[in-house]
Amino acid sequence: MQKAQTHAKKHRTNPILLLVILALVVFLGVELIRVGKRLNEAAQQAEAAQRELQKAEYELQVAKDQQRKAADEVLTLQGRQDHYDLLLESLRLSCETMEQELSGLDRRETDGRGRMAGIQADITAAEDRAAALRQEMRDKLAGQTDLTEQTNQLAQAVSDKKADQAALSADPAGGLGRHSRAVRRKDFEKRSTAA
């Protein structure tokens, strides 16, 4: 009988130990719920960051397309300028030839002066047109510089978004990553409004 009582005491679980185990199970259950919520929040933030990244990549592509178009226009204007420079040089050579003929042909002096005045008007018109094309090319080049700066800003924004996404993947709790993203988002918005 004593042996049976000793055996029953050994198998009886301590109620305090059961309470501690129960408290640990409840605590772990609550912690699992919290971690689950944090993981869901991190997943939502990662999806938002991915959407922002896709948007920034699209804007970067649009800016690159615009830059290519501007570069094509600059090349077209450069070709026109070269054409007008050749035309101008040709007109200058014609003017020199006519001046030589004028000095050699005294009896055609009046007629030569009239032709020279017409050629000079052509030269002036060509110089004016060449100057206008040069100015237009300078304006286009300035626009291309602006597009390059915007492209660089968008590339920086894409890099920031990728860094945010990597930070979210590395830190699912989102603590310091959320603060860094908020600071980067404000910097990006400042750069966007400045542009």
Q: How far apart are CA 31 and CA 39, in angstroms?
A: 12
Question: Which residues in 24-154 belong to E strands, given as ranges?
Answer: none
Q: What is the arithmetic mean of pLDDT over 5-27?
A: 77
How many residues belong to the chain? 195
Model confidence, pTM: 0.30
Q: What are the φ/ψ torsions at residue 174 (nearest 5 degrees)?
A: 80, 5
Q: Share the mean pLDDT of the chain.
A: 81
User: How far lies 174's CA from each of 38, 159, 161, in Å?
Assistant: 8, 19, 15
Would you call 56 exposed, middle or buried from its count of C-beta atoms within 10 A (0-12, 13-18, 19+)? buried
In percent, the amount of the chain with pLDDT more than 90 equals: 27
CB 91 within 8 A of CB 126: yes
pLDDT in tens, 150-169: 888 888 988 888 888 887 77
CA angle, residues 183, 186, 187, in degrees to nearest 5: 85
Position 193 scores a pLDDT of 66
pLDDT in tens, 86-127: 988 898 888 888 788 877 777 777 776 777 788 888 888 888
Residue 11 clears pLDDT 60, i.e. is over it = no
